[in-house]
Amino acid sequence: MERPRAVLWTCLLGAGLTLALPPAFSITHPEAHPHGPRLLRCVFLNRANVTCHWEAGDNHTTQYTLQVQLVFISNPTRGILSSDCTTDSFLRLPPNSSDKKFTCITPNTRCTAALKSTDVRNCFCISITAHGPKHNITSRPRCQSGRTEVMLPPADLTSTKSVSGSPRCLTVTWRRTLSVFPVAASEIKAGKLNSQIEFNFTAQGQV
């Protein structure tokens, strides 16, 4: 008879713990804080613009403001730049540099802000403000180098040659202009650049 009694005490203990939970933990409490927007990703185009996507916040939001603030500029005395905005690869701008704030307003969950010829090799802090009928909620700023999520312009294709003995392979050669392609050769060699090559083939198999 001892084993059934042990099982019974276990069940009673579990029930007691459940009943002891205070009602203040209810997630439907009318005073609960509204949910703010959450930044998902951004795509920078060098010296052009940045497009960001985010997760919607409070259901009563009427519009959003995307703010991309330039906070650090690349240090010309350094060689390879770091993606960490806290290193000595960057120099902090004065906090009152209002002309370094790039914004756009939208009712949607994506927006494109013009960068006014600003180089993506600098560091930016990105935040989204959700505007509602009674209050505004701003997401926590995310600071990063623009190069972390940059989309580079197409490289100049210089030649394509077939590979002897491999009819389905090509040797592709291209060149880049550093002023519009802000990645050092040493960084490419280190594998810090993800590349994508696209080909369109005709019916005859020509590029």
End-to-end CA distance of the chain: 83
Per-residue pLDDT of the chain (207 residues; tens, 9 = 90+): 444 443 333 333 333 333 333 444 334 344 456 678 999 999 999 889 999 999 997 768 889 999 999 887 776 555 555 556 766 666 676 666 556 899 999 999 999 999 988 888 888 999 999 998 888 999 999 998 888 888 887 778 888 888 999 888 888 888 877 767 667 777 777 777 776 666 666 555 454
Q: Do residues 103 and 66 lie in contact, with contact meaning Cβ atoms separated by under 8 Å? A: yes
- Residue ranges, CATH 2.60.40.10, the chain: 38-149
Q: How many CB atoms lie within 10 A of CB 100?
A: 18
Whole-model pTM? 0.67
Assigned CATH topology for domain 38-149:
Immunoglobulin-like (2.60.40)
